[in-house]
Amino acid sequence: MGPWACALLSVAASLSAQTGSEALSRSYQEALKDLAVPPGESIPAPAAAVDHMELRQGLRLLYKNVDCRDARFCLNPANENAMVANALEFKSRFDALALSAGPPSVTWRRIGWGVEEFEFPSLMRRGSGHPSDTVRGFVYFPQNYDKCGAKYPATLILQKLSDKLDSERDIAKLGASSDRGVVMAIYLPHFGPRRGATSFITKDPEEFEANMLQALLDIHQSYLVLKALPGVKTDDIGLMGLSLGAMVGLVSAGIDPVFDRYGTNVGGGDLANIVTYRKSGDVDSQTGSALKEIDWSVDQARFYLSRFDAITWSLNAKGKTFLMINALADELISKPLSLEPLLEGYRAAGSTVRTITHKGTHVFRAKEVGYWDTLSKVMLPMLDFMGLTNWEARDCLRGN
């Protein structure tokens, strides 16, 4: 096994316009106000129906295996109408910013052989020089990228919950150095050099929503940057996420399905279950600390977050290809709540899903998982997702 494989085994795929509080739509605010009724009072009458059967089906998948205890926040005719309207309003705000903008103006800085650091303005501006106003990251290029007119697939990697892009950059470097494609890794809002005063996942649902909207916009702009590179196949651009990045990437697949393929390592839907677990079941984690004062129940969280949950929007990802790598003993990603409904939605939309299950837990440790499971079920599938080695480009270089 060569040095690249040794490096692979060290990669840990662990979880680890103006916007702001005014970002909540009027329909969302009214829905929250109407639902906040004292115990024993009647649920409000259904709102005007919104004709969007795919969102309704997605919401029913989101609640399919849920034991909802608080009727104010369960799926019923009144709430379903409100949640459909809220989901459409969230997407309308995304579309208003994303679809009116062209490729961003990118500043490049070569920092080593085959790798460049870049930055460009985010479509969301928080003002006062906020560090999240600028998208930052790295692009790794194959060794023959600018030779023989070769064209390569491209992949965007989204980060785990960490201020470092260590695993992500290792994977990007390995993919590019083996001539599989061009690979970009970016910092999400509130991580690394983009860190602000709060966390990406916060106890304030409005702030969390704003952070998610900004992340989706940054992903969209990153796609345009990759698509504009002269050596990239414009019909073969993929999105890969690790843990938190996987969850955000799956939201992007539904809200803005511009990528041709999607790959995840320990990702899933039903953000409410994931967020509330991090509050009570993993209190010492970075997210657990950020959410220690959260006052949502899981039912409230599911209602709040349904507007941009991957399962809600799963039927909007039509005809795509998904690779989903998950852990058998994952303490965070629930198979019946986070995975099975999501897969059902993607397949109903005509997408192809390949699933792989390894022996580990959510926090991936190669030694615990075992060498062959690590290599065959995690590392090589992630590399193959980026593309096969371009042997023609290598032969062309040798010929010159």
pLDDT, tens digit, 9 for 90 and up, residues 305-346 = 999 999 999 999 999 999 999 999 888 899 999 999 999 999
The position carrying tokens 């839907």 is 269
Count the Cβ atoms, other than its own, within 10 Å of residue 99. Answer: 9
Residue 291: pLDDT band with limits 50, 70, 90: low
In the predicted model, is pLDDT for residue 10 greater than 60? no
* Most confidently modeled range among 88-102, 200-214, 252-266: 252-266
Reported for 204-210, long-range contacts at CB under 8 A and 24+ positions apart, including other chains, are: 204/21, 205/296, 205/301, 205/304, 205/305, 206/20, 206/21, 206/23, 206/24, 207/20, 207/21, 208/305, 209/23, 209/24, 209/90, 209/307, 209/308, 210/19, 210/20, 210/23, 210/124
Average pLDDT of 207-219? 95
In the predicted model, is pLDDT for residue 31 greater than 50? no
Give the separation between CA 255 and CA 95, rounded to whole angstroms: 9
Alpha helix stretches (DSSP H) within 162-229: 166-177, 205-228
In the predicted model, is pLDDT for residue 37 greater than 80? no
The tens digit of pLDDT for each residue in 90-100 reads 999 999 999 88
With left for phi above 0 and alpha for psi between -120 and 50, is residue 179 left, alpha or beta?
left
* Token pair belonging to 79: 């709430």
Contact 290, 201 (CB under 8 A): yes
* Token pair belonging to 105: 């103006």
User: Higher model confidence: residue 370 or residue 351?
Assistant: 351
Contact 18, 49 (CB under 8 A): no
With left for phi above 0 and alpha for psi between -120 and 50, is residue 7 left, alpha or beta?
alpha
pLDDT at residue 111, rounded to an integer: 95
CA distances to 109, 131, 270, 361 from 239, rounded to whole Å, are 23, 24, 20, 23
Residue of 152, 140, 320 lying closest to 236 (CA atoms): 152
User: Higher model confidence: residue 373 or residue 260?
Assistant: 260
pLDDT at residue 50, rounded to an integer: 53
In the predicted model, is pLDDT for residue 248 greater than 60? yes
CATH of domain 3-37+54-399: 3.40.50.1820
User: Higher model confidence: residue 250 or residue 290?
Assistant: 250
The tens digit of pLDDT for each residue in 152-200 reads 999 999 999 889 999 999 999 999 999 999 999 999 999 999 998 888 8
Give the separation between CA 354 and CA 377, rounded to whole angstroms: 12
Residue of 53, 52, 54 lying closest to 315 (CA atoms): 54
The residues, ordered by sequence, that sit 6+ positions from 22 with a Cβ below 8 Å of its Cβ are: none
Q: Look at residue 312 and give its three-state secondary structure.
A: coil
* Token pair belonging to 281: 């079941």
H or E segment and range at residue 84 = helix 77-98
pTM of the model: 0.86
Give the separation between CA 314 and CA 346, rounded to whole angstroms: 5
Count the Cβ atoms, other than its own, within 10 Å of residue 147. Answer: 14
User: Higher model confidence: residue 370 or residue 221?
Assistant: 221
Residue 294: pLDDT band with limits 50, 70, 90: low
Domain boundaries, the chain: 3-37+54-399
Give the separation between CA 313 and CA 278, rounded to whole angstroms: 23
Residue of 285, 284, 122 lying closest to 194 (CA atoms): 122
Count the Cβ atoms, other than its own, within 10 Å of residue 178. Answer: 18
Contact 309, 269 (CB under 8 A): yes
Residue 284: pLDDT band with limits 50, 70, 90: low
